Amino acid sequence: MSLFITFEGGEGCGKSTQARALYRKLKKSGIPAELTHEPGGTMLGKKLRNLLKNKDTGDISPEAELLLFAASRAQLVQEVIQPSLRRGKVVICDRFADSTTVYQGYGRGIEMSTVNTVNQLATFGIKPDLTVLLEMTADKGLSRKNNRHLDRFEIEDIAFHNKIRDGYLKLIAQEPERWLLLDASLLRKQIKHIIWERVSQLLGAQGIRLNG
């Protein structure tokens, strides 16, 4: 058994909260699981995360940003994701390659063919079995953030964040079977329940029966 689940969404959508909730539910159910995040999850990833997220870093060109995210991802795949999948774990990742497609592709305007090539290299061809998108309007998501602690992406103008939202919806239209689209304004426990139902179905297809 192995399963790769990613969580995506714009700023303030609550994806990290739901990723942690799913991880706890799996562990409670006796399912071996690994929770990680991007950028980060490794020693190299943590250092790159600080560079990429810290608004005091200064200007980073879109191309440099793309490659820094790819470096973090490549290390995460080789050090954490691939080994965990080989051991039969459910791997949960808070953001993955789809974030790069929407943020650096649709958001920054880098040619999609370039983004796809870099993503393919950084992921070693690994694709999620399920991607959960917590969707809400950009302005509502940003209103959830603490204005005193905004990062490089959160301080971007609303036009940038609207591109991100539109980008995610385009990705779903291209590959609907992989995505679980959820209204991020629902109650947390409702979202948690819907996600668990979908994950239970995927595990059931591998012969694992769960309660709750």
Residue 31 corresponds to which tokens in the numbers above? 């399912």
Cα separation values, 53 from 75, 105, 127, 211, Å: 18, 18, 25, 39
Is residue 211 a part of any domain in this protein?
Answer: no
Q: Is residue 100 part of a domain?
A: yes
Give the pLDDT of residue 201.
94
Of 96, 121, 103, 209, nearest to 162 by C-alpha is 103
pLDDT classification of 146: cutoffs 50, 70, 90? low
Cβ(16)–Cβ(94) below 8 Å = yes
Residue 212 lies in a domain: no
pLDDT of 139 reads 80
For the chain, the domain total comes to 1
Query: Where residue 1 falls among pLDDT bands split at 50, 70, 90?
Result: confident
In a domain, 102, yes or no: yes
Question: Residue 211's closest CA among 29, 31, 5, 88?
Answer: 29
Burial classification of residue 49, based on how many CB atoms lie within 10 Å of its CB (0-12 exposed, 13-18 middle, 19 or more buried): buried
Q: Return the biggest CA–CA distance within the chain.
A: 50
Instruction: Give the domain CATH number at 137.
Output: 3.40.50.300
| 97: in domain | yes
User: How many Å is the Cα radius of gyration of the chain?
Assistant: 17
Torsion of CA 118, 119, 125, 126, to 10 degrees: 160
Are 128 and 38 spatial neighbours (Cβ–Cβ below 8 Å)? no
pLDDT at 200: 95
Q: Would residue 14 count as lying in a domain?
A: yes
Does the pTM of the predicted model rise above 0.75?
yes
Mean pLDDT of 54-71: 94
pLDDT of residue 19: 98
State the residue range of the domain holding 160. Answer: 3-205
Note the pLDDT of residue 205.
84
Express each pLDDT in 147-206 by its tens digit. 667 888 888 899 999 999 999 999 999 999 999 999 999 999 999 999 999 999 999 888
